[in-house]
């Protein structure tokens, strides 16, 4: 079992059945002693209330720190301030600060246009109450014009007052370590934790990866494609590959692992048991 910090991401459930499932997943993953659980936030804050409710429940019932995602695009400062105060009133001490995506059809980008604006606003209004996580993109944000521009954007988030970062998931560890080297040259010293996406459904993963710019190595894509609808074989290969990737990341000094759990215990727990 790894000694470095681990954490898990959930999405807020939409039904009572989903809520019950998440409680079971949370309780089982809590036995692995994660540093925190994070909970995602819909485009333009579309799941804001559900995110807050889920975070409060996780923290109160599991005793493990919970971190809501907070996106700023499409919101006004007064709205963000109210949310921050609600977090503070409920003893939330960690936030994942993101720009976020505008919901389809929404035109008003809001007063805080970028994640660095949000980080600066949180620090301005709340001082050091919150540990602020931000997103990092080892293979470049899909909307960035080039890698250097993306790196400069990341530096702005860090300099605005970020404490640590979580990466977009990736399957090419060289990209992660090249990103760390680039950050070092800019004197960026905050911990940058690899985001880990277990592989269970290749069709879904390929579609998502094509949209986010997360490269699936050609040999891995071809092997997974070759299994067709054989989900057992896809998950076996995917779990073996991601386990080996995590071993290499930890051996080479990654500060921890952040798992995109998709509200499932397996195969995240299998990967950690393998480690």
Active site residues: 9
Q: Count of alpha carbons within 13 Å of 187, Cβ hemisphere only?
A: 1
Query: Which class for 57: exposed (0-12), middle (13-18), buried (19 or more C-beta within 10 A)?
Result: middle
Nearest to 197 by CA among 232, 235, 163: 235
Return the bridge partners of 258, or none.
Answer: 7, 195
φ/ψ (deg, to 5) at 189: -120, 0
Q: Count of alpha carbons within 13 Å of 149, Cβ hemisphere only?
A: 6
Q: How far apart are CA 154 and CA 147, in angstroms?
A: 11
Q: How far apart are CA 73 and CA 114, in angstroms?
A: 7
What's the start-to-end Cα distance of the chain, in Å? 5
Q: How far apart are CA 28 and CA 95, in angstroms?
A: 23
């Amino acid at each position: 079992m790894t000694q470095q910090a681990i954490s898990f991401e959930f999405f807020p459930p939409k039904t009572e059945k989903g809520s019950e499932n998440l409680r079971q997943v949370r309780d089982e993953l809590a036995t692995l002693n994660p540093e925190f659980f994070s909970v995602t936030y819909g485009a333009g804050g579309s799941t804001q209330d559900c995110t807050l409710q889920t975070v409060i429940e996780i923290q109160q019932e599991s005793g493990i720190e919970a971190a809501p995602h907070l996106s700023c695009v499409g919101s006004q400062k007064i709205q963000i301030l109210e949310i921050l105060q609600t977090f503070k009133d409920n003893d939330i001490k960690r936030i994942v600060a993101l720009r976020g995506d505008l919901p389809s059809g929404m035109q008003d980008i809001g007063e805080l246009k970028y994640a660095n604006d949000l980080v600066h606003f949180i620090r301005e209004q709340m001082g050091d109450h919150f540990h602020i996580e931000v997103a990092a993109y080892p293979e470049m944000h899909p909307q960035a014009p080039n890698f250097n521009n993306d790196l400069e954007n990341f530096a702005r988030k860090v300099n605005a007052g970020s404490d640590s970062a979580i990466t977009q998931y990736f399957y090419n560890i060289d990209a992660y370590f090249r990103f760390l080297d680039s950050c070092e040259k800019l004197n960026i010293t905050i911990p940058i934790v690899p985001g880990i996406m277990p592989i269970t459904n290749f069709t879904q993963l390929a579609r998502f990866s094509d949209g986010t710019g997360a490269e699936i190595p050609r040999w891995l894509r071809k092997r997974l494609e070759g299994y067709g609808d054989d989900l057992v074989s896809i998950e076996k290969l995917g779990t073996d590959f991601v386990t080996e990737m995590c071993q290499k990341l930890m051996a080479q000094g990654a500060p921890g692992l952040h798992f995109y759990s998709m509200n499932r215990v397996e195969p995240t727990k299998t990967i950690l048991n393998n480690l």
